[in-house]
Chains A and B, each alone.
Chain A
Amino acid sequence: MKAKRLIAMALAGMLAVSAAGCNGGGSSSAAGGSSSGENKAAKLVWAGWSGEEESTKPIVQEMIKSYNDKGGSQVTWVGWPWADTQQQLILRNQGSDQLDVAQVDIGIFGALANAGILEDMNELMGEDYLKENYDEAALKVGQFEGKQLGMPWSIASIGLVYNPTLLKSVGYDKPPKTISEFEDCLKKLKEKDPNIIPYGVATKEATMATDFQPWLWTFGGKLLDADGKVTVDSENTVKALNWYKSLLDKDYIQMNITRQDSRQLFAQGKMAFYDDAIASRGVAKSNGVAEDKLDVTIQPMERPVLKEGDTPQSAMWGHLLVVFKKSANKEQAVDFIKSIVGEEMSLKYLKSNGMLPVLKTALNSDDVKSNPWTNSWAGITENGTTLEFALKSNGSELNNIVVEELQGVLLGNKTSEKAAKDLSDRITSALG
């Protein structure tokens, strides 16, 4: 009974403290902006997730403060978790909340572009201006049906990263260049230490489809052709699927691995290769790798090719900035975007988080060229290809189909031939 009284008092105390500390009521709808059509100072709302995460919050706050301190338009931030961005943007676009600029992941850009809610940057900034000042490969990522609906903020490829120390321990001073060298390296790593996962390719969730596509391209396969026709049911797809299965059978990869898991295991020295982007160096550091050990722990590499002379494949990744059609402050929004992707801010972003700039002058600066890490990624990105479902309105559904069929093969539930056929049938049906 005494214990219960103590517990009741503790609960009452918590409630009293919470009531004292909280206030209710009031709307959080951001202040409206000035009328459109004139570049007067306005109150802008910038939405996304980077301003919420520990690693990127400081630089985003600096970007906003730096812009606000100039006088003129004032920017406020509205944030939510990365995984909820698409849902929140669609919801808020349909409501009456002010929404001017948003940070968008390349993975959800297609859904928003298809929804018809984004403004064409060619109209706002001028097509010639964009081509003259920004990297062409980066601009392509934000294009949809001939319009520039997304302004690239930081674009790079998802490539392979490797642990030089582990590779050196099995006789590889340089990363493998071909698939056969790659398999040989994986074999030696596994023989040396059976507890290591040689290659941490994603084997669950949507990232499994992201990691699979560059390998499919490496084997000469494609999910869709240039006209959008489904071409996945091919001999090359079967070869790619068989190869994936063989990696699992030989214990070079594992089931139930996500990219997040790979990042942590890699930082702990329990993995030799995995797929990631330019930000992976910062991730390794935040996962406990000492600054002076980074160079010997993580390095980028071109994806191994099927035969010498082939082009190494990689999937484009990055963040875009979009302006909404419903925004009453489009010109002010563009002015803010130019400030963020401008040389000063983009080089600060590169320094703090390793994100590649998109402005040509910034890409050619010493900060990029003299840094081996960013320079390597810039080279890998040159051959980057947009993921095949990136611009589809039902991209999530299509990626899930790829994940399910691939898992079916890995788990031995179906043959590669059957999986390729089922992929074709299901994707065709989903595309309508």
Chain B
Amino acid sequence: MFQKTRSFRAFLIFFSIIIGILVFFPLLWMINTAFKPATETFRLSLFITNPTLENFKSVLMSPEILRSMGNSLFVSFFSCFSATLVAMFAGFSFSKFRYAGRKVFMSAVMMAQAFPQAILLLTLYTMMQAMKMDGSYIALILSYIAFILPVGTWTLKAYFDQLPDALIESAKIDGAGWPRIIFQIIFPLAVPGAISTAIYGFVWSWNDLLYSLTLITEPARRTLAPALVMKYMGEFNNNWSEMMAASILVSIPVTLIFIMLQRYFIAGLTSGAVKG
């Protein structure tokens, strides 16, 4: 058995501090830059001599950023909800049913994760154009579902694998039909897995730049990532202080979601990790 000696504890603390610095220092610098005036952006100092809220004020008073934040919330929620719903059915199907082609479908879903999104951009863009959906949120949501589904399906399959078949058998004996079994017995038990998939899907959609830039060109419908890039990163100039302030503000929704649902997220990620 591994013994936690004093020197081991000291090493663990030291190592944790190093990891903490590496992980949190960029965040600290981001916050530091957000409170600096533009003239001090490149001043390498942790202590801000002239802190200012002007950057935050400027972002909050920017109608383009606020509108794009609303657009992103809308798209991200619908993407993560839709993807989670489809992934639940797909995961349940792979886990509890046996049918011809099941393994082929499972392999295809697994291999889909291997494709970088940039490679699929041309294909999806052409498809959306052919279906006259380019420029619409539907095109963006469908694209996001396509990328969230593989990971979501596998996460939920692992979750459903843990549920004993006896649950389903008992329900059948009691006269329950499949809709009742699925919606009243099985899916409620898979809530942690579903939430972890939903969080993954939300963060994925929230952070996307490439697809939102390509599929949405109308300024009023633009989502957050392209709006931030177009407003703060130009050909001649980058407004780092306002960009950092905007980055902090737009990460608030995702942070709130993590705080609320963190135990479900961790439970969902570790489902199936240890066979009990």
Q: Which residues of A contact B (CB under 8 A)?
A: 4, 7-8, 10-11, 14-15, 17-19, 21-22, 24-29, 49-50, 52-55, 78-84, 88, 91, 94-97, 105, 260-261, 263-265, 267-268, 270, 279, 282-283, 286-288
Of B39, B218, B226, which one neighbours A288 at CB under 8 angstroms?
B39
**What chain A residues lie within 8 Å of B122 (beta carbons)?**
91, 94
Residue B52 interfacial (CB < 8 Å): no
Beyond known contacts A24-B136, A264-B38: 20 more, CB 8 A cutoff: A8-B260, A18-B74, A22-B221, A24-B138, A28-B134, A28-B135, A29-B134, A53-B234, A55-B236, A80-B213, A81-B213, A81-B226, A83-B233, A88-B214, A91-B121, A95-B134, A263-B237, A267-B39, A283-B237, A288-B38
- For B121, give the chain A residue with the smallest CB separation: A91
Q: Please, how many angstroms separate the alpha-carbon atoms of A106 and B189 in the complex? A: 59
Q: A260–B238 contact, CB under 8 A?
A: yes
Residue B147 interfacial (CB < 8 Å): no
- For B126, give the chain A residue with the smallest CB separation: A95
Name the distance in Å between A361's Cβ and chain B's nearest Cβ: 27
Q: How large is the interface on B (under 10, 10 to 19, 20 to 34, 35 or more residues)?
A: 35 or more
Q: Check A22/B137 contact, CB under 8 A, given A11-B256, A27-B132.
A: yes
Of B42, B129, B218, B233, which one neighbours A265 at CB under 8 angstroms?
B42
Q: A22–B70 contact, CB under 8 A?
A: yes
Q: B129–A29 contact, CB under 8 A?
A: yes
Q: B217–A264 contact, CB under 8 A?
A: no
Q: List 29 A-B contacts (CB under 8 A).
A: A7-B256, A11-B257, A18-B77, A21-B67, A21-B71, A22-B74, A24-B138, A25-B137, A26-B135, A27-B134, A28-B136, A28-B217, A49-B235, A53-B234, A79-B217, A80-B213, A81-B230, A81-B234, A82-B235, A83-B233, A91-B125, A94-B122, A97-B129, A260-B237, A264-B38, A264-B240, A279-B236, A286-B236, A287-B39
Q: Please, how many angstroms separate the alpha-carbon atoms of A25 and B67 in the complex? A: 17
Q: Which residues of B contact A (CB under 8 A)?
A: 38-39, 41-42, 67, 69-74, 77, 121-122, 125-126, 129-130, 132-138, 213-214, 216-219, 221, 226, 229-231, 233-238, 240, 253, 256-257, 259-260
Q: Please, how many angstroms separate the alpha-carbon atoms of A319 and B253 in the complex? A: 39
Q: Please, how many angstroms separate the alpha-carbon atoms of A177 and B229 in the complex? A: 39
Select the residue from B69, B135, B231, B235 with max chain A CB neighbours within 10 A.
B235
- For A30, give the chain B residue with the smallest CB separation: B217
Q: Please, how many angstroms separate the alpha-carbon atoms of A17 and B30 in the complex? A: 28
Q: Please, how many angstroms separate the alpha-carbon atoms of A97 and B214 in the complex? A: 11
**What chain B residues lie within 8 Å of A24 (beta carbons)?**
74, 136-138
Q: B230–A80 contact, CB under 8 A?
A: yes
- For A49, give the chain B residue with the smallest CB separation: B235
Q: Please, how many angstroms separate the alpha-carbon atoms of A97 and B221 in the complex? A: 17
Q: A55–B134 contact, CB under 8 A?
A: no
Q: Please, how many angstroms separate the alpha-carbon atoms of A83 and B260 in the complex? A: 37
Q: A28–B216 contact, CB under 8 A?
A: yes
Q: Please, how many angstroms separate the alpha-carbon atoms of A226 and B257 in the complex? A: 60
**What chain B residues lie within 8 Å of A288 (beta carbons)?**
38-39
Name the distance in Å between B230's Cβ and chain A's nearest Cβ: 4
- For B236, give the chain A residue with the smallest CB separation: A283
Q: Please, how many angstroms separate the alpha-carbon atoms of A49 and B236 in the complex? A: 11
**What chain B residues lie within 8 Å of A52 (beta carbons)?**
230
**What chain B residues lie within 8 Å of A25 (beta carbons)?**
136-138
**What chain A residues lie within 8 Å of B217 (beta carbons)?**
28, 78-80
Of A26, A29, A261, A282, which one neighbours B236 at CB under 8 angstroms?
A282
Name the distance in Å between A104's Cβ and chain B's nearest Cβ: 12
Q: Please, how many angstroms separate the alpha-carbon atoms of A25 and B237 in the complex? A: 34
